[in-house]
Structure 1
Amino acid sequence: MLRAIACKHERLTPIADMASIGEAVADRENTVWVDIAGPTPDEWACLRDEFAFHPLSLEDVERRHQRPKIDVFPDYYFMVVYALRFGGATAAVAEAAGGPARGDDGGLAARPMDVGRAAGNGFDAPRVLDIRELAIFLGANYMVTLHVAPIDAIDGVWDHWQRRTDVIGSDVGALLHVLLDHLIDDYFPVIDAVADRVEDLEESIFDRFDPAALGEIFALKKDLLALRRIVAPERDVLNVLLRRDPPILSSATVVFFQDVYDHALRVLDSIDTYRDLLSSALDAYLSVQSNNLNEIMRRLTVISTVFLPLTFLTGFFGMNFTTLPFANPALLGLGLALMVAIPAGMVLYFRWRGWS
């Protein structure tokens, strides 16, 4: 689905068909935004013919699953970024070991956050982390966005631009800034959810020691690694946009990307912080597990030690030598008294020393 709009002197004009896009872009006083969700063959042809994008850029868009990046061409920027959000628990599962995965429809599939959670193991049902790829072409007076699945940030900025053209204006750089700002700000709820999961993990380790916490730790570490593979390259993308001699953006617009860059750094720092906390949680889990095992072995050792004299006494009095006076009733009473007194004395001694 293609939708396009042109802004000239803070007045917006919808573009009805693909044939009018080239005319709108040719007017340098226009700022044109073309948004394509799930490009059709005709829309691919429009990108090739009307905008003359480099074949390598179009190939990256068609094949998808690209690492976040920015390619600088003489007439335009080509960027790949990602939108993140939490979805429902029944969304499709995708493999993220090498980046977002392809869904059955050829688009980007959602991957689950904390896949180790299951009903009955002390944790809530998993919330699914949607990772959606977004390709952006930015020219002197136009921006083209391409994606497969709907992206909330695009819809929000699209509606905001139509309501408040005086805020965003007719500068394509300001339009890009607002879009990237929305995308990065949507990362913070994901980081907050990770923080909640880390707190739950710490509680499950130290308060009740849930064995399921180990799987939860590794699932969260995997999710944070997937997040870092997205945010770290996007920081480099923003760093390129901050250069003082950009071929597309004006110097006045570049300043605004510093704020988005700072937000990306905050997200990246939070990811690294929670990765360190999870490593500490893993060490704590293993330490608590080892302490519990040592406690069990200590109690078993106490029990074995208490029964050791009983084994000796019963073995001694169980001998069948006729010369031993075992038929004496007083000796039987003495043996029974020792069987009670010695273990009782050992238990009291162990408690006094703090061994039991």
Structure 2
Amino acid sequence: MPEADHPLSLCWPHTHRLPRSSDILPDMDIPPITPFDAEGGLVFATRMPGEPGDFDEKKRGWSDLGYPESGPPLWVHLDLTRPHSQSWLRSESGVDPIVAESLLAEETRPRVQEFGEGVLVILRGINSNPGAEHDELIAMRLWLEPTRIITLREYRFQTIAALRVRAQKGDAPTTAGGFLVAVAGSLASNMSPTIVNLEERLDEIEERMLEHETDDPRWRSQLATIRRQAISYRRHIVPQRDALARLVHNAPAILSTRDQAELRVAMEQSTRVAEALEEMRDRAAVTQEEMRARHDARVGKTVYMLTVVATIALPLGLITGLLGINVGGIPLEGSVWGFAMVCLILVLIAIGQIVLFKFMKWL
């Protein structure tokens, strides 16, 4: 297919850096589109590489979403939360019932599976919508056939929005394989800013808590949050990397040789993200263990010093207690120097104990 349909080859150098989101699809504030049928769940539909008139006139309806016999693929984008879109996918789309149920499943994990000429692809990406949880990765569900692409959304996706903008300009990929390349590359690169942010936060915490030997509970809480985020991200990124590897090594018919090469780049990017998450998880665990060890050492030192003080005070308290009993025969009872002598004896005993402890290396 034309090289222009593969933005990865133009914008993503084969280096080991974590690329920016703009390397794959433009990083922009994309206004939402008015759905073709908001109540029914049809967000939009267009023939690739896109036709501006499709979006201006909303000329495609539910009756125009069948499987085309030939030509460039028809891209159908649905809102899976709407009952009518679910019904259409199950009963009228012509999609295998297993595929339909997989696309509509509430709980999904990244996967790739071939069904005849089509490919079911479920991937995960950062949820950049307002109010989203920090560690939330939301599912992108795709069904790709040679002449039809069906995508479903539960939340708005920057990747899909950017591709829709390209389609409105007539500049979207012209094949299902090119579409998959753009989606996979964008999802992989969009993880990079999040991972870099986590790494910077972890570096700052390590510097403050390890180099400066501070132990602020707020930093301990943030460290635990980073570790949880890394574990949560990795839970989806690792199977996503494996799914992309399956596409690369067991390529379906919709992928050309060029598509496979471009998907390999996205797979390697996902691999680097997974490795970075593993490293952060391990670093956070080591930092937590070091913090715990330092805290335990400080507590142990404090308890030890209190024990030494109590040991020194014990005989002194015993002596003063004996001198304070109300019986006859108390030494120095009638001496005007009695109090001073007792204080001197107590001081000498305390000094003797300290010298003994020093000699025994207890202090």
TM-score band (shorter)?
0.7 to 0.9
In the comparison of the two structures, how many residue pairs are matched?
Answer: 315
Percentage identity across paired residues of the two chains: 19
CA contact 2:75–2:150 (8 Å) conserved in 1? yes
Check if 1:271 corresponds to 2:303: no
Please list the CA deviations of residues 144-168 of structure 1 after superposition, one character each: whole Å capped at 9, or x if unmatched.
1101111111101221344472xx5
Q: Distance in 2 between matches of 1:295 and 1:42?
A: 68
Equivalent residue number for residue 73 of structure 1: 115
Equivalent residue number for residue 181 of structure 2: 177
Q: Distance in 1 between matches of 2:335 and 2:91?
A: 115
Q: Distance in 1 between matches of 2:320 and 2:139?
A: 77
Give the gaps of 5 or more residues in structure 2: 1-41
Root mean square deviation, CA, Å: 3.0
Check if 1:7 corresponds to 2:48: yes
Query: Which of 65, 82, 85 is the matching residue for 1:21?
Result: 65
Query: Which of 135, 138, 147 is the matching residue for 1:132?
Result: 138
Give the gaps of 5 or more residues in structure 1: 92-109, 113-127
Equivalent residue number for residue 150 of structure 2: 144
Check if 1:59 corresponds to 2:65: no
Mapping 1:245-260, distance limit 5 Å: 245-260=251-266
1:46–1:295 Cα change, 3 Å: same
Query: Which of 221, 231, 236 is the matching residue for 1:230?
Result: 236
Q: Distance in 1 between matches of 2:251 and 2:121?
A: 18
* Partner SS for 1:268: helix
Query: Post-superposition shift, 1:211?
Result: 3.3
- What's the TM-score, normalizing by structure 1? 0.77
Check if 1:82 corresponds to 2:89: no
Query: Post-superposition shift, 1:32?
Result: 2.1
Mapping 1:1-356, distance limit 5 Å: 1-7=42-48, 14=54, 16-22=60-66, 25-26=68-69, 28-38=70-80, 40-48=82-90, 51-86=93-128, 91=131, 110=132, 112=133, 128-163=134-169, 165=171, 169-203=173-207, 205-206=209-210, 207-243=213-249, 245-318=251-324, 320-322=327-329, 324=331, 326-343=333-350
Q: Which amino acid aligns with 1:339?
A: L
* Partner SS for 2:45: strand
CA contact 2:111–2:240 (8 Å) conserved in 1? yes
Structure holding more strand per residue: 1
Q: Which amino acid aligns with 1:179?
A: V
1:48–1:328 Cα change, 3 Å: closer
1:34–1:265 Cα change, 3 Å: same
1:283–1:331 Cα change, 3 Å: same
Q: Which amino acid aligns with 1:195?
A: E
CA contact 2:119–2:144 (8 Å) conserved in 1? yes
Q: Distance in 1 between matches of 2:169 and 2:183?
A: 15
Please list the CA deviations of residues 153-204 of structure 1 after superposition, one character each: whole Å capped at 9, or x if unmatched.
1101221344472xx5422211211111111111112212322332344356
Query: Post-superposition shift, 1:263?
Result: 0.7
CA contact 2:48–2:167 (8 Å) conserved in 1? no
Q: Distance in 1 between matches of 2:330 and 2:345?
A: 22
Query: Post-superposition shift, 1:284?
Result: 1.0
